[in-house]
Structure 1
Amino acid sequence: MDTVPSMATPAATTTGTARTTTTVRTGGSDWTRNYARASGIFYLITFASSIAAVVYFLKPVLDDPGYVVGPGQDTRVIIGCLMDTVNALAAIGSAVAVYPVVKRQNQAMALGFVTSRMYEAAVVMIGVVSLLGVVAMRRDLGGVAGPEASALLTTGHGLVAMRDYTFLLGPNLAPVINAVLFATLLYRTRLVPRVIPLMGLAAAPLLLAPTLATILGLTEHGSIWWGPGGALIFVWELSVGLYMTFKGFKPTPLTATQ
């Protein structure tokens, strides 16, 4: 009767050893690497597409008050709209890709980051549709004259003004929310060097102030008040994108096991 417990003991020990080995192997693999790389690449795509669209491709329709009745550069503008579409989709991707990792720290904040990126993308797409509307009117009605041309100009100006406001409420206001949520998550988890999320947290109020001031008509977009916040938010997003792409996440207790 005494031999039964002694026979069961080795089996229990063997089982326990097997479980321990499995846990160590899972913890030893960097299961977060693909998530970090995907999010970082999406961040860099948003940079490339949005900057190219604003700096070059969309300038004809944004800078020429008479674009809708003039000769126009429709192909160039359409390419800019497509690049903004890529920007919107990549923005969503940057949050969705990293969600499985950061939700382990705070699921509500992680979900909030995904939602904020979706909001930003939706607002950007409203601006895209507005500019495509200008292109469509120029193609169909650009040759009119007299009162019809005046009405067309008024409509075109309204659509461009709508796009300007989407730029304020999307790519300017949303990064403030993104920085508060994502930078807080990264700061608490120590997944990246803390100086990176600290830049995002510092940039948020500096960008929020001129954004609200411009919406209220107290200043203009691109004035000197935009400098500090705009520059810091640029460096924060570029830094986190590059770090996640090429370095991944730092080992922490949060990433120890999947």
Structure 2
Amino acid sequence: MSHPRRLALTAGLLYLVTVVTSIPALAVKAPILKDPATLASPAVRNALLGATLLEVVLASSCVGTAVVLYPIARRQSETAALGFVMSRLAEAGLVLLGVAAMVSLTTIVPGTTIVPDGPTAAPATVSSATSALVAIHDWAFLLGPGLIPAVNALLLGSVMYRSGLVPRIIPAVGFIGAPLLMASAIATLFGLVEQVSAVAGLAALPVALWEISLGLWLTVKGFRPEAVARLIRSAAEPARAIE
């Protein structure tokens, strides 16, 4: 295992990067996706492309948090640590699917389709394609950043809570937020709640607080030394028994 303080600092910074990229990206893209006709403006297209760039960084940071934390998380639970890596990969993949849909939207202008050496599409065709791309983004957003963070909170939260690597109040907030976020995602799936709404925002708040708190703690404080020492001792005991 690399130096625990270095791991904690890197993971904490990556968690904070996920926050500072996801919030402005959502603020920029939400009104554009509600009215894709505004993409006729070059400034609006550039704004959406900026949001996609932020989300590419977001996806990379999601994977980074899991990869960086894996060496120490696996000492508490190999299953939970590996599950966290896989769930982060799934989340990043869905984020990138949404990015692909948004980039595709920027090539569609009301009344025409920009296709190299291709024909000009009829307005009705463009409207259908636009609606399909927005739907792909919305479902990818719901199943990715809208749902998987609840799974992340349960997997990584269990490792952090049982190991004591961080104060237990931090993963406890994630445990509270996970079922709320899941319930919100299911309600959105069945059309009971708007995907971007005050209700959905409140349901996502505890998980967001868990991630922000974890990122800040790991950046400023790092892992608790006594918890790291305990994990290292427990990993060494089977080796001694074999000897």
TM-score class, shorter: 0.7 to 0.9
Q: 2:83 matched to which residue of 1?
A: 112
1:254 lines up with 2:228 in the alignment: no
Write out per-residue CA displacement over residues 192-240 of structure 1, whole angstroms, 9 at most, x where no aligned residue: 0000000001100011001011112222223454244311111110000
Q: 1:122 matched to which residue of 2?
A: 93
Amino acid paired to 1:84: E
Amino acid paired to 1:71: S
What is the DSSP-based 3-state SS (H/G/I as helix, E as strand, rest coil) of the residue aligned with 2:109? helix
Whether the 8 Å CA contact 2:110–2:123 is kept in 1: the answer is no
Separation in 1, partners of 2:31, 2:200? 23
1:205 lines up with 2:179 in the alignment: yes
Q: How does 1:1-258 map to 2 (within 5 A)?
A: 31-56=3-28, 58-59=29-30, 61-67=32-38, 70-72=40-42, 73-138=44-109, 141=112, 148-251=122-225, 252=227, 253-255=230-232
Separation in 1, partners of 2:113, 2:207? 39
Separation in 1, partners of 2:193, 2:185? 9
- With normalisation by structure 2, the TM-score equals 0.86
Write out per-residue CA displacement over residues 8-56 of structure 1, whole angstroms, 9 at most, x where no aligned residue: xxxxxxxxxxxxxxxxxx9xxx931111111111101111111111112
Write out per-residue CA displacement over residues 89-118 of structure 1, whole angstroms, 9 at most, x where no aligned residue: 000001100110110011111010011000
Separation in 2, partners of 1:228, 1:67? 29
Q: CA deviation at 1:140?
A: 9.6
Separation in 1, partners of 2:162, 2:18? 25
- Cα RMSD (Å): 2.4
Q: Which runs of 5+ in 2 are unaligned?
A: 115-120, 237-243
Query: How has the CA–CA distance of structure 1 residues 225 and 61 changed in structure 2, closer, same or farther, with 3 Å as cutoff?
Result: closer
Separation in 2, partners of 1:189, 1:141? 57
Amino acid paired to 2:50: I
Identity %, equivalent residues:
36
Whether the 8 Å CA contact 1:60–1:77 is kept in 2: the answer is no
Whether the 8 Å CA contact 1:101–1:255 is kept in 2: the answer is no
Query: How has the CA–CA distance of structure 1 residues 67 and 149 changed in structure 2, closer, same or farther, with 3 Å as cutoff?
Result: farther
Whether the 8 Å CA contact 1:42–1:91 is kept in 2: the answer is yes
Separation in 2, partners of 1:244, 1:138? 45
Structure 1 or 2, whichever has the larger Rg, is: 1
Separation in 1, partners of 2:158, 2:216? 18
Q: CA deviation at 1:60?
A: 5.0
Write out per-residue CA displacement over residues 42-96 of structure 1, whole angstroms, 9 at most, x where no aligned residue: 101111111111112x24531314235x335211111110110000000000110
Separation in 1, partners of 2:146, 2:85? 17
Whether the 8 Å CA contact 2:52–2:102 is kept in 1: the answer is yes
Between the two proteins, the alignment pairs up a number of residues equal to 226
Write out per-residue CA displacement over residues 124-175 of structure 1, whole angstroms, 9 at most, x where no aligned residue: 00000001111112299269xxx81122112111101110111100001110
Separation in 2, partners of 1:136, 1:255? 53
